[in-house]
Structure formats: C-alpha cells, structure tokens
Chains A and B, each alone.
Chain A
Amino acid sequence: MSDTMLSDAPVPSGGSDVVLRAQGISKSFFGVRVLTDIDIDVRRGEVHGLVGENGAGKSTLMKILAGVHHADAGSVEFEGRQVAFSHPRQAMDAGLVTVFQEFNLLPERTVAQNVFLGREPRRGGFVDDKGMQRHTRTLLEGLGVTFIDPGARVGSLTVAEQQIVEIVKALSFDARVISMDEPTAALSDHEVELLYAIIRKLTARGVAVVYVSHRLKEIFDLCDRITILKDGALVSTDATADLTDAELVRRMVGRPLQSYFPGPVEGTAVGEARLELTGCGNEFVDGVSLTLRAGEIVGLAGLQGSGRTELVEGIFGVHGFTRGVVTLDGRSVRFTSPRTAVRAGLALVTEDRKAQGLALGQSVLDNSLLVVRSVFAGRTRASRKRVPGILSSLEVSSRGVDQEARFLSGGNQQKVVLAKWLVTDPQVVLFDEPTRGIDVGAKVAVYQLMRQLAAEGKAVLMVSSELPEVIGMSDRILVMRDGELAAELPARSAEHEVLAAATGSIDAGAAADEIADPRLGDGGDRS
C-alpha cells in the first residue's frame, strides 16, 4: 500500500538534494561503543526512517545530530556546510530540530510561550505576547491546524496536540530537517493519521523528516527510505520499495524471526476459572463481567480512553471496584489496594515502566526485589537467591545486578519489571501495554514469557493498543468501549472486527452474538 503513495512523493534522486550528511560517526559512553562508523544522508523533502532494536544506537545518533551529544569521530554536513553543534540550540538555530520522545514542553505555559521559549519576541523591551500568539497562529494555520489556541496551556492539550506544538516549535526555527523520536508512541489511530498528514505537508514544503519508530507499519506507510542500525553499526539504507516487512525485521535483529507471536507451549491446557468478575464497576468502568482461566491469554483491546487501563487498575485495586463481585479461584475477594491484590497472587505490569514500574535510581537487584520486600518481607532472603536465575532466564543484559535501572535500555528495563513480578510467583498476571517502546527481540521475550506463564496454569490478561499483538497473542479478545466491555471475540479475529467492536460500528453486535457460543471461550478456535 505504501508504494503508490511513495512514488508520488517528491523524492529527487540527485545527490545534490542531500540536506544532511553524517559520515563516520562513532561514539562511546564510559568506554562502551554505542555507535561505530555510521554514515547517513537525508534528502530534502523525504521521510527517512531510522529503525533498529533498542540499544541499536538510534537515539544516540539522533542526539548527536541534534547537538545534545558530541560524536567522538566523524563529521556532520548540513546544507553543504561542515557543522559541529555544541548545544541543541545551535542545531535548532541552524534549522535542524529534534522532537524528542519526552516532549520539551512546559505544561504550565501557553502554546505560544512554549513555541518561543528562549527567544521571546520583544517590543519596547518587553515580551510581545500578542505578537507571539499571532505568529504561533500563523504557523499552526500553515499546517492546517485551527483547533489549537495559541493561548491555551500546553498541559490542557491532548498528547497529539502537544506533538503538533512541538512540530510548530520546530517550524518556528525554520527547520529544514525535523527528527522525530517515536512520535506516535502515545497517539491513538486518528491522531496518527493527523500526524501523517502533517508530515506529508512538511515534506511537500521540502522539509526532511527523520522518523524513528518501532511500529513497522508506520515506517512502511510513511518513509521514502529506511536506514537500519544494529548494535551501533549501519546495516543498510534502502528505498522503502526495495524492502519487505520480513527483510526489515531480519536485518534489525540479524536473524529471521520464525514465530513473531509464539503459539501456546506444548501441553498448555485451558483449565478452570481463576479470576472472575461479575458486574464490576468503579468511577471509570462499569458492568464488567469476565473470566480469566488457567492456561489462557486474554487480550483486552479498545481505543485510547476506552477504560482498558482503568479496568486492570480496578482489578488490581488501584481504583478498587465499588460494585460487583470478584472471585479468585472460587473465593470471593475484594482488592482495595494494590497491596491486597499482590498478597492474593496478582501482578500488574504497568504501562509506563519509568514512572510506574521501576525505581530508576536503584539497582537491578533492588528493583527485582521491590515487590517482595514490601509485600512478602519474610520471603526476601529466599527470593534474592532466585533473582539471578530469573534475570538470566529473561536474558536481561546488564552489567551485573548492581547496575542502576536507569542505564538499561527500554527492553531490558521492561524485563526487570517482569522479573520483579515473577519473583512474587503470581497466579494472575495483568499486562498493560507490555511491549510499548521496546525492541523486537525484547517483545518476543515478553510474548514467550506470557506463553510460559499460561503453560504453568496461570491466568494472563494483556492490554494492548497494537492490534496485531492482541490478535497474535490472545486466546480470546475482549474489547472495551466507553468503560464497558463491548464484545468478546475469538482468537485470530480479523483486525476490522476488533476495530468495529471498539468503535461501536454495526459489526460489533454480530461479533458479540458470535462469541455467545461458549466453545470459543474454551479456545477451541486455536490453530
């Protein structure tokens, strides 16, 4: 689908249109080589995809181009001139602007104040608030965006709108190259479409976009050329048309992924109900009835804001249910806090590992013992002995258990979060966006772990925004809409069926009827 669109895009093939060229870039941190001899050239008006597993060096490369880090070796040529930025602001002034994954915006300040932060226009010596807002409005309108008020507080905007503010900020520097690091990580589908449209608008103006993403679909949809990094080295740069999905993955991980979504472990049997909810509700969700059975992976899909996270948080006692009945292995239970849930054998792998999953400043070992220490203090000694084994079974690559969690890559951080829960030997495991922002290799590790847990007779519930993941991993798919369960779909349902249920279009009713057939709930549809 991407090819037709790409051939329309203005991609002059001549080398003269190279706006940014980096050659022989190498970089080490504390003696560890992160980038080795990278060459990359970015052309006017193209979307240049930059892909690789976590730890492949994408972020470091972007930061070097942005002037946040300095390369140990190599040269960067921007618009034909040799440049060596020592501060991000120099790069921005030159027209090379980076939109980082963590937004560089002040939530308490207005859109205009953020766009012009550090170079507020002045009139008669004082900040010209009106001029600033007018200028911001012009830039927004240039992108066809009229629904953002330049005087609005950035914190009151949606994530997608904030993204647009970042882009407008970039444009206000007269950017010729805009780098975006995982720009869609927190966007819903129609917001992604809006971002696509804006990116196309930028490229039509001749702005080059360097696009970093883990979502291969986006890479193929958007990019004209794709550069693949692996282990800090350049693998290839190719026109998108010359690459296939499978080939891209093979080059990223260096080996073909036989089964991206592993099937059930041999001998896994769906057993009795372990966790059952009947008519549960709290301030966010309502009337939820569901059953998680031993040996089964249940996927929970739904649009952003449909209440998926709130449901798992409800189960886990973060916002405990105020209505309904919860039974665990047949006994009625009531979780009023995460602590009570953990004691009963539940685990919740939260969606935001940095804010909710890890104590970043503490060691891998301390993080692995975080839950055991606080909830099952008596088991700490015994658990400590198990930690190295669990970490190595998850293939966590760290410089020992004493390394601070903050220095690990996203995938390894997520594995430490998993280890933290495995140590507690949970019976019901809730995963909330378990593979967000982690590389392909780590994703597969997470999937295999889920299958392993199921094989051990545990119940697994997974919330995910990525439909292929939901469909590929789930034995049953629950779909939420507006805080309620809208449908239950069998394994291997089509994407459009899930979407229909999530958005409430007509198919949903039919789909719901279909799954009234109880056999599907037993996973009879599994291939």
Chain B
Amino acid sequence: MKRIRVDSTVIVLGILILVIAVGAILVATVGRSFFSPGNIRDILTGMSVLGLVAIGQTLVILGASLDLSVTYVISLASLIAATTMNGNPANIPWAVTLTLIVCAAIGLANGLIVTVLKVNGFIATLGVGLILQGVLNTGFQGSAGSVPWAFQLIGATGVGPLPVSWIIMIALAAVVWFLLGRTRTGAHLFAVGGDPEVARLSGVRTKPPLIVAHVLCSVFAGLAGLLLASRLGVGSPTVGQQGGYALLSIAAVVLGGTLLMGGRGSVWGTIGGVAIFAVVDNVMSVMQVNPFLKDVVRGVVIVAAVAVYSRRAIVRRRTRFGPGGTRTGGDAPAEAAAPAMVAATQALEAEADAADGSASMQGGAR
C-alpha cells in the first residue's frame, strides 16, 4: 500500500531546492541577495574540495567499504605538491604527477588491505590514516613549500560565475558517472557492494572493482589536496584534518542517497549532498551565525536526511527478498501483476500443451 519509491537523486534534489528556498528567504531578510553572481560563486567554490573528496568516497561506499584516510591523503598531497613545485612553474606537471602517483599508491594499499587481507574498510583506512598522520607529524613541522602563481590560478579564477575548480569537479563527476553506468568495472562495483556472494557466484572477480574504487578515492583526495595547495599557496600538514573531510565526505555521500552498506547510490546524489552542505554553510556565513550553531545545523541536516531514507527502507523491507518473504498488506504491484500473470499462465499452458504435442511427435519419429 505505502510503496513509494522515489529515486533518491530526486529526493536529494528536492531537499536541495528546499534548502535553497529557505536560504534565499533568510538571506533576503538580512538585505542580501542569495542569487547574486558573487554569492553563487562563493557557494560553488565551497563545493569544489568537498565535492572531489566525496566523489571518491562515493566509489568506495558503493563497494561497501569506507575511506577514513582521505583527510591525511589531502594533507600529504598538498605538501608533496607544494614542496615539489617549490615556487617554480616548470615543476608543476611533475609535481602533480608525483602527488597523484603517491596518492594512488596509498589507495592501492587501502584496496589491497581491504580485499586481500580482508580487513574491514573502516579499520583498514583508519590504520593507514594513522600511519600517514605519523609521517606528516614527523616529516613536517608546519606549512611547507610554495605554490607558483600559475598553479594558484586554478583555485582562484572562474568562467563567469563558475569557478574553474568547480568545473573540474563536475567534469570528473561526469567521468565517474560514466564509469559507474557504462563500464563493467562500475557494474561489478555495484554488484560487489550489493552482495559479494551473488557477485562471486555470477563469476564476477570481486577484488578488482573494490581495489579500483580505493585507488580512485585516494586519487580524488589527492586532487582535493592539490586544489587546497593552490588556494593556500603552501602545503599544510593539517589542512585535511581542519576540514574534517573524511566524515564530512561520508556524510555528503549518505546525504546524497547512497546506501552506507553499498550497492546503491549515484554520484549525482553525492554532488547534491555536497551542494546542500555548501548552501547551508553559505547561508549561515552570510547571516553571520555563530560557528557552534553552524555545526548543529549541519548535524541536523544529516540526521534528518538519513531519517527520511531509512523510513523509506522500512517500507521497502516489507516486500522481502527471497524465500520466507510473505508479501504483505495489499501490495499494489503484486495485485496489479496478478491478472497479467494469470493470463500469461493460461497462454503459456496452452502453448506448452501444443509444444508437448509436437515434441512427443518428434519423440515418436525418433
């Protein structure tokens, strides 16, 4: 009876529109315009870093893993990039390459620990994150390196109201969307996250998709680190932790309708989740709300959104999967399907009778 299934991306979009509407009204009450190009630009700029991290996080969460090491990867990436560039524009390509290679290696380590050693993703990436924190603490006393102006432009320029960093983030989201929807790796990642046993019995190699997801997640964290280095002009060993990106990115992914248990979700939902955070933050800073309240509001948004999803999940669970699942309380689709099934049954039986007849004739001829 109650069997609403709205695509989660639609819910996210709905919440986003609601947040924007409320935000616009609130901003208007203090005599400012929410939709001014400057403000939109602020919001979009606020989305870029978290967006990059959350895209990567979406991949691992779809595979029913997690990545808590992203904060440290971000810090490390900013340092590697800034110290390698060392103020010289000629070093930019090499610095970016090196940073991403190191990040990919960390992601590979995460992926191998999760798949081969079969350590739960939460613990595996927590451990790797702590190791990285140790490296950061002992290797760097504070900010280090210097980012040349050419590279700083990435974080500072824009096309109209659209910041370059945001455009890059959206373009990469599109790439990931394509990866998830149109490649075997993507399909298998959904399968492994949804039910590893089903995937295995269907002949899917279960390790590679999750390893790829972890590598990409760390690379995306590395890109976020590069972007932060470009904005700050230096590398910082604490920039990741200050942003609280690990938990915030997970929150954005979940807010975006991706199942924390894996197997269901979308990258656009995640972008929606990131946008909701960005709008909420923007409204509160325009209104000069005190920082404590800011965190409270964020927390309320996350909890409320997930509460909406889990209500939906409860309704869904009533039509259980597989044996033992008595279908309950007047299930509309089942009822609707019933006449079709009866008709189909009759048609099939008639046909099967005919087939039987001809088959036995063949049998006779044999």
Contacts and interface: CB of A to CB of B under 8 A. Distances in A.
Interface of A: 8-12, 45, 68, 87-89, 92-93, 101-109, 113, 117-120, 122, 126-127, 129, 143-147, 155-162, 182, 185-186, 188, 190-191, 193-194, 196-198, 200-201, 204-205, 283-284, 304-305, 307-310, 351-355, 433, 436-437, 465, 482-483
Contact of A305 (B190, B329, B352, B363): B329
B322 A147 contact: no
B328 A309 contact: yes
A9 B357 CA distance: 8
A455 B161 CA distance: 81
8 contacts: A8-B353, A117-B203, A118-B188, A127-B187, A144-B347, A185-B324, A200-B349, A483-B329
A118 B360 CA distance: 37
A429 B190 CA distance: 43
Contact of A197 (B182, B326, B348): B348
Interface residues of B, number: 60
A8 B360 contact: yes
A305 B330 contact: yes
B351 interface: yes
B19 to A, nearest CB: 27
Nearest to B195: A106
A126 B183 contact: yes
B297 to A, nearest CB: 31
B195 A436 contact: no
A159 B319 CA distance: 9
B331 A305 contact: yes
Interface in B188-212: 188, 190-191, 194-195, 197-199, 201-204
Contacts of A45: 359
Contacts of A353: 324
Interface in B339-365: 340-342, 344-345, 347-349, 351-353, 355-357, 359-360, 362-363
Interface string B224-260: 0000000000000000000000000000000000010
Nearest to A205: B355
A352 B352 contact: no
A305 B328 contact: yes
B323 interface: yes
Interface majority SS on A: helix, strand, loop or mixed?
loop
Question: Top 3 nearest A-B pairs by Cβ distance?
Answer: A89-B203, A197-B348, A352-B324
Given A12-B363, A122-B184, A204-B355, A436 B324 contact: yes
B322 A102 contact: yes
A225 to B, nearest CB: 16
B203 A106 contact: no
A117 to B, nearest CB: 4
A200 B327 CA distance: 26
B263 A108 contact: yes
Contacts of A307: 328-330
B334 A305 contact: yes
Contact of A109 (B190, B331, B351, B357): B190
B321 interface: yes
Given A126-B183, A194-B341, A201-B352, A87 B203 contact: yes
A249 to B, nearest CB: 23
A54 to B, nearest CB: 14
Interface of B: 5, 181-184, 186-188, 190-191, 194-195, 197-199, 201-204, 259, 263-264, 316, 319-331, 333-335, 337-338, 340-342, 344-345, 347-349, 351-353, 355-357, 359-360, 362-363, 366
Contacts of B322: 101-103, 159, 162, 186
A159 B318 CA distance: 12
A351 B320 CA distance: 12
A284 B328 contact: yes
Contacts of B342: 190, 193
A108 B264 contact: yes
Contact of B184 (A127, A186, A194, A201): A127
Contacts of A310: 328-329
B330 A106 contact: no
Contacts of B360: 8-10
B202 A433 contact: no
Contact of A102 (B316, B323, B333, B356): B323
B363 A433 contact: no
Given A190-B345, A284-B329, A10 B316 contact: no
Given A109-B194, A194-B348, A436-B324, A104 B201 contact: yes
Given A118-B202, A304-B326, A190 B187 contact: no
A107 B194 contact: yes
A103 B187 contact: no
Nearest to A313: B328
Contacts of B204: 117-118
Contact of B323 (A106, A155, A185): A185
B323 A101 contact: yes
Contacts of A201: 348, 351-352, 355
B198 A104 contact: yes
Contact of A118 (B199, B329, B333, B340): B199
Contacts of A304: 326-327
Nearest to B331: A305
Given A108-B190, A126-B182, A118 B203 contact: yes
Given A106-B263, A190-B338, A310-B328, A89 B183 contact: no
B194 A106 contact: yes
B341 A160 contact: yes
B217 to A, nearest CB: 20
A9 B198 contact: no
Most chain B beta-carbon contacts within 10 A, residue among A10, A105, A109, A120: A10
